[in-house]
Amino acid sequence: MKHTRPVCIENPPVTTEASGDDSRKLEIKVVYTGTAATVSALKRAHQCAQALGAHIDLLYWQVVPRFFDFNAPPVSIHFMQRQLCSMAQACCPDVTVEVRMFLCRHLEESLADILSRESLVILGGKKKWWHSREEKLANALASRGYMVLFVDSGIPNQSPWADVNGNGARQGRHVY
């Protein structure tokens, strides 16, 4: 039984070069784990895609609690779609990125239904001395046989868009 269903598929206009044979390309799956973490994961995926000629899928799962209807999730799908597309455009300007969004009840089972074992799965998160939620998810996927790359999202409290814009300044906040 499938636990997920696609909500929408968006191809953001970030492709500037197209390869002739897309059927044989390596697929890189970036799983959304938060804004800063996903920006770090997308940057690493961009490096891998350029080196390997791969295609990137940015996957967003929204876990819908049982007391919510699947047709009315708690977070606006259109809002997340815009945020994910702008993230993909900023981090991967010259690589094909497909944004795929899913609604589900259980994240781990839903990931197993959608991910391919031949794909490289990239997750971002903060490395801690105890395992974070993102690290636990990466370990769970690796134990199921997926190729998983965990990317440390770096310094806590850093603006997630600082590296994308080319400067290290914290935007819109003052540091005292």
pLDDT, tens digit, for every residue of 7-37? Answer: 333 444 333 343 445 555 789 999 999 999 9
Of all residues in the chain, the percent with pLDDT exceeding 70 is 74
CA distance 71 to 64: 10
pLDDT over 70 at 157, yes or no: no
Q: Which token pair is 108? A: 């781990």
**More confident: 64 or 18:** 64
Q: Residue 22's pLDDT is what?
A: 52
DSSP 160: T
pLDDT over 80 at 160, yes or no: no
**More confident: 39 or 130:** 39
Q: Are 150 and 138 in contact (CB under 8 A)?
A: yes
Q: Which token pair is 151? A: 């990317």
User: Identity (one letter) of the amino acid at 1?
Assistant: M
Q: Out of 3.40.630.40, 3.40.50.620, 3.40.50.720, 3.40.50.1370, which CATH number does the structure's domain 4-12+26-152 have?
A: 3.40.50.620
pLDDT band at 155; cut points 50, 70, 90: low
DSSP 68: S
Q: Which residues share a beta bridge with 120?
A: 28, 147
pLDDT, tens digit, for every residue of 70-113? Answer: 777 777 888 888 999 999 999 998 888 999 988 888 887 788 78
Element (H, E) at 81: helix 77-91
**More confident: 141 or 128:** 141
The phi and psi torsions of 83 (rounded to 5 degrees) equal: -65, -45
CA atoms within 13 A on the CB side of 7: 23
Average pLDDT over residues 32-60: 93
CA distance 82 to 6: 16
